[in-house]
């Protein structure tokens, strides 16, 4: 299995001889308005793609955890071929279809595609009323024959359903949206170091890949800060903090 962080939550996952593009956000640097109610008012994305958008179009399928613009933007809707196979949560089918796509498959609970198992898991994008306003969002678990099991948390905090997914699927790899995104007031809406600690405690056999960092104006946890925590706790073999464009290989 090969995993490449493109930028933010955009990843290329090669599994069972298929390549899946996850959460395509393909706009050039500075093309999008910043998130409001955040101290950093730099335009999004904060960094360029490390590869050309065209290089991503040869993927076999696309998996969209949810359709917030930092996970599926207008550039992705424009660049991706309209007949590309797209997996998504059921409530996003209509929106994606309206962008002209004709091969959109909802993952209600679980499906199999080309020998790859894809299960959808609950996610909670923040706390209280904020989470309700940002819903729906989902996580996903993917596995194939003789391949590691991968749990993509999606835009979520750690909560009871996260633990249930870890207990049920026992993933070898947890892809964690760990930028600790937040507004000027209120609690974080994605995971940070405390959430990573909880994952490690609940699932000590899992490797964590921390993504969703340093590319969007409301993400406050930096790679350097997370790497400092990793080094101080001797977690270099358990918590991976890839740079944009970096590839990581895993074996079962």
pLDDT, average across residues 103-113: 98
Q: Is the pLDDT of residue 86 over 90?
A: yes
Give the phi and the psi of residue 58 in degrees, each rounded to 5: -85, 5
For the chain, the straight-line distance linking the first and the last C-alpha, in angstroms and rounded, comes to 9
pLDDT at 44: 98
pLDDT at 173: 98
Are 168 and 176 in contact by the 8 Å Cβ rule? The answer is no
pLDDT at 252: 78
Are 126 and 135 in contact by the 8 Å Cβ rule? The answer is no
Q: Which two tokens stand for residue 91?
A: 């409530």
Q: Residue written as tokens 């391949």?
A: 147
Closest by alpha carbon to 141, among 118, 168, 173?
Answer: 118
Q: Tell me the pLDDT tens digit for each residue of 42-56.
A: 999 999 999 999 999
pLDDT at 2: 97
Single pTM value for the model: 0.97
Q: Tell me the pLDDT tens digit for each residue of 210-248.
A: 999 999 999 999 999 999 999 999 999 999 999 999 999
In the chain, the domains with their CATH numbers are 2-249 (3.60.15.10)
Give CA–CA dist 34/48, Å, rounded.
15
pLDDT at 34: 98
Q: Is the pLDDT of residue 96 over 90?
A: yes
Q: Is the pLDDT of residue 202 over 90?
A: yes
pLDDT at 83: 98
Helix H, strand E, coil C: the string for the chain is CEEEEEECCEEEEEECCEEEEECCCCCCCCCECCCCCCCCCCCECCCCCCCCHHHHCCCCEEEECCCCCCCCCHHHHHHCCCCCCEEECHHHHHHHHHCCCCCEEECCCEEEECCEEEEEEECCCCCHHHHHHHCCCEEEEEECCCCCCEEECCCCCCCHHHHHHHHHHCCCEEEEECCCECCCCCCCCCCCHHHHHHHHHHCCCCEEEEECCCCCCCECCCHHHHHHHHHHCCCCCCEECCCCCCEEECCC
Q: Tell me the pLDDT tens digit for each residue of 114-169.
A: 999 999 999 999 999 999 999 999 999 999 999 999 999 999 999 999 999 999 99
Q: Tell me the pLDDT tens digit for each residue of 5-55.
A: 999 999 999 999 999 999 999 999 999 999 999 999 999 999 999 999 999
């Amino acid at each position: 299995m090969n995993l490449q962080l493109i930028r933010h939550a955009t990843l290329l996952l090669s599994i069972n001889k298929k390549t899946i593009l996850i959460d395509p956000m393909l706009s050039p640097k500075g093309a999008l308005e910043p998130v409001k109610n955040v101290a950093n008012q730099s335009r999004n994305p904060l960094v360029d793609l490390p590869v050309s958008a065209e290089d991503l179009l040869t993927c076999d399928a696309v998996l969209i955890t949810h359709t917030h613009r930092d996970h599926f933007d207008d550039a992705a809707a424009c660049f991706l071929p309209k007949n590309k196979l797209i997996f998504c949560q059921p409530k996003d089918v209509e929106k994606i279809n309206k962008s002209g796509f004709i091969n959109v498959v909802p993952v209600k609970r679980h499906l199999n595609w080309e020998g790859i198992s894809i299960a959808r898991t609950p996610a909670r994008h923040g706390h209280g009323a904020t989470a309700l306003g940002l819903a729906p969002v989902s996580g996903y678990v993917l596995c194939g024959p003789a391949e590691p099991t991968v749990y993509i948390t999606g835009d979520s905090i750690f909560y009871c359903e996260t633990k249930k997914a870890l207990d049920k699927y026992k993933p070898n790899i947890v892809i964690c949206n760990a930028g600790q995104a937040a507004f000027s007031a209120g609690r974080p809406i994605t995971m940070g170091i405390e959430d990573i600690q909880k994952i490690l405690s609940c699932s000590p056999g899992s490797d964590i890949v921390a993504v969703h960092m340093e590319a969007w104006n409301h993400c406050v946890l930096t790679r350097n800060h997370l790497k400092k925590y990793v080094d101080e706790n001797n977690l270099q073999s358990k918590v991976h903090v890839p740079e944009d464009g970096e590839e990581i290989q895993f074996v079962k």
